[in-house]
Amino acid sequence: MNYIYNIKLLLFYCLIFVNSAIAQNLPDFGNPADYIITKNQERELGRNVISQLRNANAIIDDPLTSEYIQNLGDRLVGHVSDGSQEFNFYLIADSSINAFALPGGFIGINSGLLLMTQSESELASVLAHEIAHVTQRHIARSIYNNQNNTMISSAAMIAAILLGASADISGDAITGIVTAAQAANAQNQINFTRSNEHEADRIGIQTLSSAGFDPNAMSSFFEKMARRYGSSQSEIFSLLQTHPVTTDRIAEARDRARHLPNNSLNYSSSYEILKARLRVLQSTNIESTYNFFLERSKSFNAQSNAYGMALCLSLLGRDDEALLIFQNLVKEHEEVIAYRIGLGETLLRIANIEGALNLYAESVALFPRNVPLTISYCQILISNNASLAHELLLDLLNNIPPTPSQIRLIARAANAEGDIANAHYYMGEYYISTGNLSLAINQMTMALESPNINQIDKSRFEARLKQISEYN
């Protein structure tokens, strides 16, 4: 029943936001959207949804794919944002063709959409469009433009973002509710207006070109989707519901693209590798997926297809065949992290622990602070050299913002090392990252009660506990 309480609490806060904005009757200076909901409030709302999605296992928690989508998003953001807005990008375990932008710069791309794209520029076009929704603050502006509605209606527009994510469900269902909440009522709820869509297209296309992608990719991708699904009566096509495509909109996007430079080669090995990996991760029939790569390898990119085949072979228990492919891939493309991790994972499956450790040690030396590589290495090290695992993960944590699963991994490393105090401390940080402050306080308290705690750690734990308690 906790989720019902959370919904009521969030609705209460939303009412406060709206009531405060209306009651103050502020003059029209700056961005009027700030009178309804501030950027900090947007960030908190978006973070809450992501926490709920993560707790429902709706977010694909794979270091390789997560790093790729974040790096791709950052590449685009660098050409449209002044750095004042933080952005986080996520792959959602949902086969439907959809993407969404949450308040505060949280952007989700469904796995089904990514697999439908045919080039990195097409994928980037969707991200660029969603980024524009955030930078232009379309959700907050939609709320502001509907101030003539009742206070409760305005609050509901904010809370609609959260209702689906607060329910005790998981997988496609929860993401469907989140996106449905965005699209529930095109004019009166939080769904983006037609003008918002045109604005996001205009800014997104410019961003694509500036970042070195094909500006034509946006119109071509949405035209493709409209052609394939737009007339379907039996299938609800989520992307077209939340982002309605018209012939005028496609024509305008195409016309804008013609006036922009196109320096893109429209090919990326990283994109193809990610797509192959995601196809395997989301497969419900590995044998069929293997045959897909096998057939396609006859006429398509041999490198990414070989990688996909090797991943499938490992899952099918044909590790000797997978090992040979991964060895050849690493030999021919030493710079590709995914191939090194694939080889390491295969060595582990055939119980060649020493070979895996040597490979990862060499790889980490060549590519220091590479997140997927370090995580894969440390997962083995915890059972072999917990102290080194703790050291490497701590260095990573102090330099690169970690995911909750990475924080939990360092807690495991500290515990395996015998550092019980820091193990509890890291678990506290893990619960903070997942939005559970009560459990975070419990873990921080246990850290302080640990025997043989040194003064430096004690001061650090006390300061963090005080900080958490103020927000609980």
pLDDT in tens, 345-377: 999 999 999 999 999 999 999 999 999 999 999
Three-class secondary structure of residue 89 per DSSP: strand
- Looking at residue 472, its pLDDT comes to 64
Domains, in order of start, for the chain: 2-258 (no CATH), 269-471 (1.25.40.10)
Confidence tier at 429 by pLDDT (50, 70, 90): very high
- 354 phi, psi to nearest 5 deg: -60, -45
pLDDT greater than 60 at residue 99: yes
What digits encode the pLDDT tens for the residues 155-167? Answer: 444 444 444 333 3
The DSSP secondary-structure symbol of 83 reads: S
| Tokens 């469900």 -> residue | 169
User: How far apart (Å, rounded) are the C-alpha atoms in residues 240 and 235?
Assistant: 11
User: Which of 42, 67, 120, 201 is flagged as catalytic?
Assistant: 201
Confidence tier at 27 by pLDDT (50, 70, 90): very low
- Looking at residue 291, its pLDDT comes to 94
Weakest mean pLDDT among 38-52, 269-283, 441-455: 38-52
CB 75 within 8 A of CB 287: no
Confidence tier at 11 by pLDDT (50, 70, 90): very low
pLDDT greater than 70 at residue 29: no
CA angle 277, 280, 283 (to 5 degrees): 150
130 is catalytic: yes
- Looking at residue 178, its pLDDT comes to 42
The most confident of 136-145, 243-252, 341-350, 431-440, by mean pLDDT: 341-350
pLDDT greater than 50 at residue 15: no
What digits encode the pLDDT tens for the residues 50-95? Answer: 888 888 889 999 999 999 999 999 999 998 877 778 999 999 999 8
Confidence tier at 143 by pLDDT (50, 70, 90): low
Task: Tell me the two tokens of residue 448.
Answer: 């302080």
- Percentage of the chain beyond pLDDT 70 is 74
- Looking at residue 431, its pLDDT comes to 94
- Contacts of 178-185 with C-beta under 8 Å, sequence gap 24+, read 178/49, 178/53, 178/100, 179/98, 179/100, 179/238, 179/242, 180/238, 182/100, 182/242, 183/238, 183/241, 183/242, 184/160
CA angle 366, 399, 412 (to 5 degrees): 85
CA dihedral 373, 73, 158, 435 (to 10 degrees): 10
pLDDT greater than 70 at residue 284: yes
User: Which of 94, 130, 223, 419 is flagged as catalytic?
Assistant: 130
61 is catalytic: no
- Looking at residue 145, its pLDDT comes to 60
User: How far apart (Å, rounded) are the C-alpha atoms in residues 13 and 165?
Assistant: 17
Weakest mean pLDDT among 39-43, 61-65, 105-109, 423-427: 39-43
> DSSP string of 93-104?
---SS-EEEETT
The DSSP secondary-structure symbol of 416 reads: H
Taking each helix axis from N to C terminus, what angle separates 138-145 and 120-135, rounded to the nearest 10 degrees? 40
Beta bridge partners of 91: 109
> DSSP string of 239-281?
HHHHS---HHHHHHHHHHHHTS-----S--HHHHHHHHHHHHH
Q: What is the mean pLDDT of residues 235-261?
A: 64
Task: Tell me the two tokens of residue 393.
Answer: 């993960």
- Looking at residue 12, its pLDDT comes to 38
- Looking at residue 142, its pLDDT comes to 65
- Looking at residue 147, its pLDDT comes to 53
255 vs 116, which has greater pLDDT? 116
User: How far apart (Å, rounded) are the C-alpha atoms in residues 321 and 294?
Assistant: 13
User: How far apart (Å, rounded) are the C-alpha atoms in residues 311 and 281?
Assistant: 9
Q: What is the mean pLDDT of residues 138-159?
A: 53
